Structure 1
């Protein structure tokens, strides 16, 4: 007897745009400014610590499900010092996860039930919508208007309903680089004051804010902190995206629900990796200088791109640069991104991939988390491409 056709839970979802563009970059020998990962190594102290703990007896077995106590304690201390907030209880409020991706999925699986609405601010990382739908939730999309992609709190208020279970924030923002201000958090707190709506705050680019601005964490707004899951990423902070280690800070009751799911998704995260991160986390010099480190890269890329004909949008945070190409082409962004990859030899991401309906605004996203020589080489290829099509 033949089996009936498998009915997909996500019939309209294909392969991630990041996989598609990275594969195309490989096929074309293109410089990959599409996927958001550095092309340089983590700090030497971290890689040496990993090698050391990989050889240490007892560090090859399962870590405790919530994470190594030493690492959770250091995260608590760092959070208190960095944001001037009460230290989260490492036993009941800090959980180590397999990257921020697992934390995000675990949060949604823990709190979103069929029929619940979740507000998503677009453009948004492409994981958000599908992960909500897999729980039976309903994404409710609210646009962030270009070119600065600031939050429209009136639009958020209009989207709130008795069915709103969660609102998802991302600051500094991927793909736009927009950064929430303290006043934004106060406005959101006022909107949610008499509701049961929870907050998921994706803050993986917390150490990448430029031009004298600062990152305001949801943890700094007391009314939001008491209803929030706050996510961070060691992969982003330590140039080690392939290590897939992140964490979630949340009040005890929310953490308990997160861990109910986490234990059945991954149970625990790589033990020697957690030990290595604990060895370096006490040294604040690395993450305290990240903003300056990445601003130099952003400013260099801006300078290199000036002669090309691209219009670069403001990029106050994260490590991405959006660009309009209207002076170069009338093509849709997906077609233009593929053309740039094939003909210029530089891979980028079309921003329409960050919209659930594929909204085309003639924008592409570059990742500038690359070595200086990589950015120079990419800009030279783009300049040559632009000269040939103008």
Structure 2
């Protein structure tokens, strides 16, 4: 009898656990019903308008050229190839922008805390200026007021007959694989592994004996000696081609198109202003007693900042820094206004106009950006856990 009463009482709505499970089940059912309604409504509207659905269009020939492609591409390639080209162009601009913005943001953030009045005020002016101008306007400024205003190829700025800066972009020597390329890559990997093992051994030795080891110089030597031996044994890993002016444009080598440079610089400078404030707040969050303790041990200001303050400040810096990396990656879609061939411009723009597969194209585009953003978040969260304080 008591067990039956207990069972009936366990299924009562007065039990918080029962209510929690009930609300969760109702929420899942509501989400599934809403998703089914949206899918059904979309399919019905597409059928009424005679719009076919499916992803077969990805296998059709694109029929248009792309100004910048990191992999081989011709007009006869498929729309799936266009998707890959746009994705790689987006990742290229995002990765380079993240690196530049991080380095510049850290420098400006530390400069804002400088005891030098001029340096501190210049850093403040930088932050307050660039973070308050919309990124789209900055992209347009760099593109129209700077890069497209440069002289044409015939009047380009010549740097040692190797680099040519014009309104068509920056032409530079281009590299291609030679006979010693793969041996050089293997030697480079071996050098990195040797450096990792050396660092671990040096840290273990320091913990056991307290004797320091010049890890930087030893690592630099390994990084130079091992790949150099590969070059001496197997030959140069790369062969270089210098751009030549033929007719009205340059032929050969590599070229950084104006759209790419305008996008990368604008997003880097814009995001660096926010990163600078994140770095400044992170450094300020570290107790001043840490600085006093470092000085009492005889550490100078530079080593104190590098070895004591910034490692502790990173625990505060990393979470908001992740948001800035995500913002920079998503803001790369603004490049569509200047014609940079990134994911939105190529796939959600040109491919959508040619095929009319709006649902599929937009679904793929959103899924790709979602995947990139989640990947960045997972990587930064993993690093944040690595540097987190572990309570004893």
TM-score range, shorter-chain basis? under 0.3
Greater Cα radius of gyration, structure 1 or 2: 2
TM-score (norm 2): 0.26
More helix by share: 2
